[in-house]
Structure 1
Amino acid sequence: MSQGPRLRLRVHGVSNGLWNEDLAAIPKEDRTWGVYNYISLWTAMSVCIPTYMLASGLIAAGMTWKEALGTILLGNVIVLVPMILNAHAGAKYGIPFPVYVRASFGVLGANVPAMLRALVACGWFGIQCWIGGEALFRGAKIFLPGLGEGAIWWCFAVFWLLNMGVVWRGIETIKSLQVVGAPFMLVVGLSLLFWMVGRAGGFGVVLADAGAFRGMDEQAAGSDFWKIFVPSLTGIVGFWATVALNIPDFTRYARSQKAQMVGQAIGLPMAMTLYSFIGIAVTAATVIVTPDHKAIWNPIEVIASFHQPMVALVGLAALLLATLNTNLAANVVSPSNDFSNLRPNLISFRMGGLITGVLGVACMPWRLVADPERYLNGWLVGYSGLLGPIAGIMIVDYFVIRGQALNLDELYVRGGAYEYWAGYNRRALVALALGVAVALVGLFVPRLHWLYQYAWFVGFAVAALVYLMLMSGPDVRAMIPPNPLLLPVDGFEAESPMA
């Protein structure tokens, strides 16, 4: 018996429809992200204009500044739990979200949750591009005071192209921007805080006056706190419900589980709470220092109002960098992988990023951010009802059904352990449909509107319980086919002894 030639073997049924270089598992030796990378990742994603405006919006709705800050902290601690749980598989196996979700939804069924996540990301991408375009427009007006309002569309297009240019350079460019940009953005944010608080007379004066821009009187605000708190908490959880799903896209680069867990546990609550406080204090300070005592929620307007052009320019440049960082990390990486998962042989990470950019414009982001009520109770709470059920299914499948054990090779093959019925796990799809239906039924049945206010929580719980029951039946193992046939075709390399 002699050693024969090397053959390229592939599991029967596998094609480029399930694999490309962007979806492939990252080898352990190439996983280089440490604690600081994850702290800087969350700083880069959290230090952005929507975060700044979030707390101010809660106060305007009727909360005190302490209630607003506490609600934001609680919401981020809650969403940190599914974030770290879903991050585990990425760090352990080096796989991105659309590959990880194949275990629960099937190798083809994974496209359903991946597309839901991707479409929400496209909406966020468009919103951040519109905000970045506004910052660019305000900066241009410092030197061109006569610039017409119509120029904001050109600034929007320029900022969109800047995002696309970074996407084309790849994931490592995004990582480099985060490492450099995160500390710079914090310094600028703190500088803005101390600048405005100093002009207003100190923290004592500012925080004492933080209720000046509340949306209702003290007595009404106190009695209606819980009516404000419930949808606000759901909206804050929904703020990061997107990344709570696709966090494996980032933890697949982690050196260890400890690195990603510690980095996230420090980075997310700290950055969100700190930058929200900056938003509260600066907005309260504008009530004191502006001639008409009007609250300015948007930091772009605050910085643009500075009389020193160079100070204003540096501040606006920092906001541009903050928006670029957030957009790339939170709203490009995931949909790029998700679209690639649809047709890996045709759609690369770069092409997926371009698709994200086009759909981000198509969603008309200028309309999404025009109305604060539509933004919080429509956009944030609404899509949380779509994503909460996916998180529930993923966590139950990985930790309860499979005990954190995945067959890495068969995540990329047809006819394997994750084939289910023609590539779809119908039990997961049923659980997802029921979770979404219960979470969103309050939109159509007024008496059940309270379910919609808890959309993420309701969807998560319903889908998780239904999936657990459906996957606990005695016939579950019977639907998993035997090991597929190996055929000598182009694909995975293997040694094959021949006579």
Structure 2
Amino acid sequence: MGFKEFHDKYLVVEGGESEDGFLVNDDIRPLALKDRKWNSLTYFTFWFSATATVSNWYSASTGQALGLSMWESLACSFGGQCLIAIIITLNGRAGATYHIGFPVLCRTAFGVYGAWWPAFNRAVMAIVWNGVNSVQGGQCIYVMLHAIFPGMARIKNTMGSGSALTTGGMIGFVIFWVVMCFFLVVPVPKMRGLIYAKVIVFFVCAIAMLAWTVTKAGGLGPVVHQGSTVHGSERSWLIFRFIMLGAANCATFASNAADFQRYATKNTDVILGNLAGFPIANFIVAIFGNLVCASGQVIFGKVVWNPITLLDDLLVMDYTSKTRAGAFFIALCFAYSCIFSAIFENSLPAGNDIAALFPKYVTVRRGFFICAVLTVAINPWYLLGSAVIFVRFLSSYQIFLSTIAGILLVQYYLISRGYIIIPDCYTSSKSGVYYYWHGFNLRAFAAYFIGIAPNFYGFLNNMGVKAPIGLTRFYYVAYWVGLFLSAFVFWGSCKIWPPAHVETTWKEPRDYVRPEEDISAIEASSVEVMPGSGDLEKRIVTSKTESV
């Protein structure tokens, strides 16, 4: 077999052999009717599953690690997540209506080629977060092994002081990574049962760990009455910081909301889950995280913000058969939760993004495994060495994602008014409305860089560059500055320099169905696209009969 035959048979994916194979394959087209299986209950449960993670447990209790009381930490987390739930709902509507993922949605604003940049940004963040979840999973596996084999604690550590994993923890990381890769072969639309199971598993182990630590701490009284260790203006700024961080922590969900909302049976299915399910689910997880963290402070006399580290400390303190069994069971449940957190929150968006970057050769499934390999390459165990490092990580990349979200919101709600010309998202033809200038929308890139500019010094400060205290505190609102500034600049530039596709009235269809599918399966009126004007009207009529 020659290279061309091998290339065409094994490397090029289905749908990638067309002239525009570098823009389309079957995975990144609008989702087929048969794969739109997530309803309102699924999405409400999804958020309980998505937020039921060790990462959220971490972020909820880091406020205590830096001096806030348990109640202050809880209030900050909940306030920030109520704010970001609104952005998630608004930015995901296009995905729920047209059943396209974040990378394709970006083409409407950034251009068919320009969208590669925001997709790359989001892919990087997804890979980093996948590494964080994998490290947590590795820590869980280590505790399980430690509960069975006492000698695990005596393995010489060669990882260095900056690593969240010891040599024993690295053994756990490798095992976790291999197991996670096995689960990546399950088709995403068929994962509803795993979503439900993850919720049950996580909360069973969370309740068990809470009961265990509170009992050892002597009841809830000593736990809930601990106050702040910081006071005055320092305390006020810390509260403000963690409210904003509660929102910034979810910047990835806000930017790529279309990736998981595209599976909705109809676009209203996601509203209840986003506006109610997301903050409530986060709040419940935060309660567990903060109570356990506060209990650990009573037991050990110090704040242990990582629940897996706390679990291992309990094991070391009382290495009896009951303690070993309890630690093993809780760590097993946490490990299961970490696997599906990694898949739903990181592998899925990374797969979508990487597939959109290289659609001729990469399906979403192949993107999953590319993400898995890169997860190891970035050495993520250095991100979780301390609460301070983790907080810096949480707040650092937000400035890049917030500007993207602001631009997408303006494009969908103010420029295209809910109407996306789907065929033009997948063509390199100069007549396509999303071709802009050589495939790049310069308006979007101008808004992107202007939105980043005011926050960039704060970003450098977050990475270790010294800056005045005023700039440090300004960076607390970096997400919202980037979101609104980029949105305003993009809207203004489109007013001054109108793009090819601008609508003046709201024209969102009830749903979008692939033209080649049998639309008799649903009400004809639900897929009727509102007519446009002139050439656009002809294009709309054509899009009902031609394949993307």
Q: Which TM bucket (shorter chain)? A: 0.7 to 0.9
Instruction: Report the Cα offset of residue 392 of structure 1.
Output: 0.4
Change (3 A) 1:272 1:425: same
- After TM superposition, the structure 1 = structure 2 runs for residues 315-330 of structure 1, keeping only pairs within 5 Å, are 315-330=330-345
Instruction: Report the Cα offset of residue 371 of structure 1.
Output: 2.9
Letter paired with 1:259: D
Letter paired with 2:195: Q
1:32 paired with 2:42, answer no
Contact map agreement 1:174 1:328 (CA 8 A) in 2: no
1:297 paired with 2:305, answer yes
Q: Give secondary structure in 2 for the equivalent of 1:287.
A: helix
Instruction: Report the Cα offset of residue 174 of structure 1.
Output: 4.2
Which residue is equivalent to 2:484? 461
Instruction: Report the Cα offset of residue 81 of structure 1.
Output: 0.9
Change (3 A) 1:78 1:50: same
The 1-side partners of 2:448 and 2:271 are apart by 27
- After TM superposition, the structure 1 = structure 2 runs for residues 97-112 of structure 1, keeping only pairs within 5 Å, are 97-112=102-117
Contact map agreement 2:37 2:189 (CA 8 A) in 1: no
Contact map agreement 2:40 2:272 (CA 8 A) in 1: yes
The 2-side partners of 1:30 and 1:347 are apart by 20
The 2-side partners of 1:479 and 1:193 are apart by 54
The 2-side partners of 1:265 and 1:351 are apart by 33
Instruction: Report the Cα offset of residue 131 of structure 1.
Output: 1.1
Instruction: Report the Cα offset of residue 362 of structure 1.
Output: 2.2
Which residue is equivalent to 1:489? none
Contact map agreement 1:97 1:247 (CA 8 A) in 2: yes
Larger CA deviation: 354-363 vs 172-181 = 172-181
Which residue is equivalent to 1:5? none
The 2-side partners of 1:237 and 1:312 are apart by 32
Q: What TM-score, normalized to structure 1?
A: 0.88
Q: Could you give the per-residue CA deviations for residues 222-258 of structure 1, whole angstroms, max 9, x where no partner exists? A: 4312321333233222211101111111111112223
Letter paired with 2:178: L
- After TM superposition, the structure 1 = structure 2 runs for residues 95-494 of structure 1, keeping only pairs within 5 Å, are 95-147=100-152, 148=155, 149=157, 150-172=167-189, 174-208=191-225, 210-211=226-227, 216=229, 220-288=230-298, 290=299, 292-304=300-312, 305-306=314-315, 307=320, 308=322, 309-376=324-391, 378-415=392-429, 416-442=432-458, 443=460, 446=468, 448-473=471-496, 475-477=498-500
Instruction: Report the Cα offset of residue 403 of structure 1.
Output: 0.9
Instruction: Report the Cα offset of residue 451 of structure 1.
Output: 3.2
Contact map agreement 1:230 1:454 (CA 8 A) in 2: no
The 2-side partners of 1:422 and 1:435 are apart by 23
Instruction: Report the Cα offset of residue 50 of structure 1.
Output: 2.1
Contact map agreement 2:189 2:263 (CA 8 A) in 1: no
Letter paired with 1:391: A
The 1-side partners of 2:145 and 2:436 are apart by 56
Q: Could you give the per-residue CA deviations for residues 378-419 of structure 1, whole angstroms, max 9, x where no partner exists? A: 211110111110010000110111111111222112221111
**Gapped runs of 5+ residues in structure 2?**
1-14, 158-166, 462-466, 504-533
The 2-side partners of 1:256 and 1:115 are apart by 28
Which residue is equivalent to 1:72? 77
Higher relative contact order, chain-length normalized (CA < 8 Å, sep 6+): 1
Larger CA deviation: 380-389 vs 32-41 = 32-41
Letter paired with 1:329: F
Q: Could you give the per-residue CA deviations for residues 183-232 of structure 1, whole angstroms, max 9, x where no partner exists? A: 22112212322333234343333201x33xx5x3xxx4243123213332
Q: Could you give the per-residue CA deviations for residues 341-389 of structure 1, whole angstroms, max 9, x where no partner exists? A: 112110111221122122222222111111322221x211110111110
The 1-side partners of 2:423 and 2:489 are apart by 28
Q: Percent identity?
A: 27
The 2-side partners of 1:261 and 1:105 are apart by 26
Change (3 A) 1:493 1:300: same
1:45 paired with 2:50, answer yes
Change (3 A) 1:474 1:313: closer
Instruction: Report the Cα offset of residue 494 of structure 1.
Output: 5.0
Which residue is equivalent to 2:98? 93
Aligned residues: 470
Q: What TM-score, normalized to structure 2?
A: 0.80
Change (3 A) 1:236 1:21: same
Instruction: Report the Cα offset of residue 139 of structure 1.
Output: 0.8
Letter paired with 2:354: F
Q: Give secondary structure in 2 for the equivalent of 1:319.
A: helix
The 2-side partners of 1:298 and 1:373 are apart by 12
Change (3 A) 1:66 1:27: same
Q: Give secondary structure in 1 for the equivalent of 2:131.
A: helix
Contact map agreement 1:39 1:264 (CA 8 A) in 2: yes
Which residue is equivalent to 1:6? none
Q: Give secondary structure in 1 for the equivalent of 2:100.
A: coil
The 2-side partners of 1:326 and 1:473 are apart by 43
Instruction: Report the Cα offset of residue 85 of structure 1.
Output: 0.5
Letter paired with 1:176: G
The 2-side partners of 1:403 and 1:165 are apart by 42
Contact map agreement 1:14 1:412 (CA 8 A) in 2: no
Letter paired with 1:436: I
Instruction: Report the Cα offset of residue 93 of structure 1.
Output: 0.7
The 1-side partners of 2:442 and 2:106 are apart by 14
- Give me the CA root mean square deviation: 2.7
Contact map agreement 2:65 2:303 (CA 8 A) in 1: no
